[in-house]
Structure 1
Amino acid sequence: MKDSLGTLEVYSTDQGYEIRVPRGQDESLSQMAMRGILGGISGGDAVFKEDEKRQVYRFGDVVVKVNLLPRLKDKLRAKNLAPEEAKGHLMFEEAGIGCTKLIAYFERRVLGLTLRNGIVEEYLSGYRELRACDSELAVPVLLEMHRLGLYHPDFKHENLMTHEESGDTRIIDLEYCRRVPPGDMGALLMQAQRYIEYNVVGGEKTVTPQALQDVHAARFANKLFDALQSQSWSRADFMTALETLLSRHRTTRERLGIVLPDGLLKEQ
């Protein structure tokens, strides 16, 4: 997916923006995205987030997510967030995983420096975040990602949206998603741990291996194991691996340093 943004059609504006849209996309969507970008947050229909670093707002049938990059270090480092999220959308769409559709990627540059960038995605009307009692809806999404070899570093209820009537479930916030070997148990367990830690326990400050005693966490873990239909893992080993990951909060870098020798999860 390194050059996936190069497959998008490029438009340049008088305001200094370069806007990329999927080839063959409905022209009305592309035009709506451009109006949403150029009109700014003041022209939006609803504001979801606004601070010194980021703006997220709805414009018609799309959501515009802008990285403002106010500091030099943001321009040099955080500038990668939007292109990585756009690549994540293209990756998941290509794999057939339900996610918000990418409408546009955009950036504004001056003298080679990125002043701001962002993405435009479809607005999910009628959808809401998953709740603790909705854990069974997360299982098929995670298993399909496991089968196809896709890893979401922030797999949690806030990033899973379900439709109130149809039950259709979509995954969002796809920055830094990546490919892993299909069937990689380490990736599956790390995403399951993330989901339990943030959906049931409530975040990194209270993480504990006893989290699996929570009724919703236990239900999620058992449904995941049952649906996995593993020939090489016992239920006891699967739960032990999750408890090991839940023993304390780990940064993404630390969690990537965990390996699975001899079928059991241990730390390097």
Structure 2
Amino acid sequence: MPASPSSSGQQARQAIADRLREILRDSGLTARALARQAGWDETKCSRLIHARTPPSDDDIRTWCRICGAEDEIPNLIAASRSAENAYLEWRRVQRSMKRMQDLGLRLFEDNRVYRFYSSNLVPWPLQTPGYMRAIMQRFSDFHRADVPDIEDGVRTRMARRRFLDDGTRRCAMIIEESVLRNRVFGDEVMKDQFRHLLTGMRQTNLSLGIIPLAAVRVQKLTETFHIYGDNTVSIELVSAIITITQPREIDLYIRCFNDLASAAVYGDKAEALITAAIGALE
């Protein structure tokens, strides 16, 4: 497994190594005793607990089994698998907008329940082509990247909607009212997008909640995050996409989403906020 240039990737690997060290200490075994029982060279234990060598799935299973900590295996394996790809800098994917869309497509194909929270933009399942195009162009300009395949990216994202059209998948979306109030793109693009929200939110397997500006709430976030099934969370930051696959962390985001959902309004109240936003652009 190649070393990651990202400091966040190194921190993730170090956290796994630290946990292996704690498990070893709690077991009362020495590194030499563990290596002997595992049939390893003694230096392997040193490399693992100092994060010089990333553990394989089998390494983790063996380590935890010998130390009597088999309940740690699922979380450690999930953390180890995601450590190298957990922090993906935008500059690594910006050369191909379509590649970014393909990353999301695989997550959509593999799951049937999706939860999206956005503090700044309309989530993609309810985006119009014009809104998508404006987002991708803004991304290209901000990161100072020449992105020639914006139209391919738009087509890929539009094609992804077929997963919601078959009625077997469910999507819950929550946005802040500020998404409706901030004029991030031209008025015509925004009005077209908001009119589409009024139509799209009536889809039976899709729900749209809007958190009013004056809502009483227990959570206030700035980052956008997407939850795919119960196995992956994707978080969008200014500089990177962070992917989380560790069950304990995913559970925190699911609980956070539920808190945000409790502060949102739906149905007629949500429609009223959208209609007011359209009126403000007229």
Could you say whether these structures have the same fold, taking a TM-score greater than 0.5 normalized by the shorter chain as the test? no
Higher relative contact order (CA closer than 8 Å, sequence separation 6+): 2
Say which one has the larger Rg. Answer: 2
Q: TM-score, normalised by structure 1?
A: 0.28
Which protein has the bigger helix share?
Answer: 2
Q: TM-score, normalised by structure 2?
A: 0.27
Which protein has the bigger strand share?
Answer: 1
